[in-house]
Each structure stands twice: as structure tokens, then as C-alpha cells.
Amino acid sequence: MSILIAEVGACQGCGACLLTCPEHAIRPDGGTLLVRPDRCTGCGECVEVCPVDAITLVETAS
């Protein structure tokens, strides 16, 4: 299983991850971004598109 870790301070608010996520698991929330774990499949597309490397995909034990 994978989870997303977002470094909120590093985020520049470009919205690339919002547009890229095929599951619409990322949403804005008062100047930060929230990842909905119930929708995130761990595909990593948001990680690849982030221009400031503010998102990290972490493998966790099942």
C-alpha cells in the first residue's frame, strides 16, 4: 500500500497535481492541499508532475 505525503510549506499552489490526479483525490483546502486517502490509489502521477517536489509517495506495510 502507498500513501502520499505532502510538504505543505514547499507547495507553490500551481495546481498541477489537482489537474493530473485521475482519481480526483487531491483538493484545495484554505491554501493547502488535502489528499483523500479513500480515493488515492498511489499511482504517483501527482509526484511526477509537481515542479517543486512537494509530494512524496511512501510505501507502507499492508
The DSSP output letter for 8 is G
What is residue 48's predicted lDDT score, i.e. its pLDDT? 93
Q: What share of the chain is helix, strand, coil (3-state, %, to 5)?
A: 20, 30, 50
Take residue 18 and report the three cell numbers written for it. 489537482
The values of phi and psi at residue 18, to 5°, are -60, -40
pTM (2 d.p.): 0.77
Structural domains of the chain sorted by starting position, each given as residue range(s) with its CATH number in brackets: 2-59 (3.30.70.20)
Q: What is the pLDDT of residues 29-40, one digit of tens each?
A: 777 778 888 888
Give the distance, in angstroms, between the CA of residue 26 and the centroid of all CA atoms in the same chain.
6
The values of phi and psi at residue 51, to 5°, are -75, -15
